[in-house]
Amino acid sequence: MKCYTPLDLQAMDRYHRANFVNCLSGFKPSTLIVTQDAAGISNVALFTNIVHLGADPTLIGFINRPKEATPHTLKNIESTGFFTMNHVASGQVEAAHQTSAKYPDGVSEFDHVALNELRRPEFAIPFVDGSPVQLGMKLVDIMPIKHNGTYLVIGELVCAFLDESNVASDGFIDLEAAGSLTTLGLQGYFQAKFIQKLGYARPSA
């Protein structure tokens, strides 16, 4: 195995390095985050750095890049205090990927990619139509990460929509059956494949 050092990474061109480093942490959720500005214009953007932070209350976070790189999502969440998280389905890959393009302020990606808004009476911010798992989230905190100028955005679950046939009696959600995709690097999309389900781990006798 080759040992890659920070000097090796710095020798790579910017795009090559970003793709390489994004692969190091492994497969990540492929998630479309929808927000709205004060005028009610929706923004939808692809995020993969999603993290479970707690079950009671249900907290889910994501990493937002520096404001100058991706300003709209963070600005909208700061303005309204709410957002939705939507798993990407297999038929949505190209459209979801296209949302990572830098559209200008005041322009909704829904108007330029093959994705449709889904409005539900239970939540003010739209969801992505056809997403197999849809989460309505309320902002809890935005934590700056000083080392690289990014932000950990923490939300609390308000509502979750998914097919109950994919939920087992113990609460396990079969995301493979639901059709949720994963992401690797900046451009790779994968379907999950179930291997094994194990019980709660306890110390050996």
Which DSSP helix (H) or strand (E) runs through 34? strand 31-36
How many Å separate Cα 68 from the centre of its chain? 19
pLDDT (tens digit per residue) in 44-94: 999 999 999 999 999 999 999 988 777 899 999 999 999 999 999 999 999
pLDDT at 205 > cutoff 80: no
Q: Average pLDDT, whole number, for the chain?
A: 94
User: Residue 70: its pLDDT value, please?
Assistant: 74
- % helix, strand, coil for the chain, step of 5: 20, 40, 40
